[in-house]
Amino acid sequence: MYLDKAQELGMTVCLGFWAQHERHGFDWSNEVAVKLQLESFAKVVDEVKDHPALLMWAVGNEVDLFYSNFDVWKHINDIALMIKSKDPHHPVTTVTAGLDVAEVKLIQKYTPDLDLLGVNTYGGLDFAIESLPYYGWDKPYIITEWGPNGHWESPTTDWGIPIEQTSTEKAKSYRERYEMIFAESTNCFGSY
């Protein structure tokens, strides 16, 4: 089992539940589908909640990309509540694709039972770190994905192909962004 291997290597795991994505056809208004997903996650919680390599739970990864049904956040909260009812010893997060003020407000309103927020961000890392307190986020957060600029953030050729950063530029980005993450010590718990 991966948790056993992590423990053997002296590592911890943020166990992620792949909450289905609207952009892949999942309907968060379908009560049966939502219930089945919750039940499948509950089985996993029961199986591994006491494993010493488990650090925290993540409910969903980038469910906010290309979505329109904001009920997703209520259901993410329901999943968080289920996890906490079975395992009060590990924090629960969800992970967003970048962030904007409307999204932060939705998460604050509809997922109050999350312990922290995970943010995947690349070129917008400084924006995310500066904006979270401004948007009223007062809980901890972690930077869950980061690195050099993504292809979607890069300049393009005349024929529309992204121009990749050089290895030197990437190395500089890694160093600067690593230092940026760990310089913010108020609510940022680092990167994981």
pLDDT band per the 50, 70, 90 thresholds, residue 181: very high
For 148, half-sphere exposure in the C-beta direction (CA atoms, 13 angstrom radius) is 12
The position carrying tokens 């009812």 is 85
pLDDT at 184 > cutoff 90: no
Domain coverage including residue 23? 2-191
- Counting the structural domains of the chain, the total is 1
What share of the chain has pLDDT > 90, as a percent? 94
Q: For residue range 41-91, what is the model confidence (pLDDT) as tens digits?
A: 999 999 999 999 999 999 999 999 999 999 999 999 999 999 999 999 999
Q: For residue range 108-143, what is the model confidence (pLDDT) as tens digits?
A: 999 999 999 999 999 999 999 999 999 999 999 999
Whole-structure pTM value: 0.93
Per-residue model confidence (pLDDT) at position 140 = 97
Alpha helices, H only, the chain: 2-8, 31-48, 71-86, 101-110, 125-134, 167-183
CB 187 within 8 A of CB 141: yes
The CATH number covering residue 59 comes to 3.20.20.80
Written as one letter, the residue type at 180 is M
Mean pLDDT (whole number) for 29-36: 98
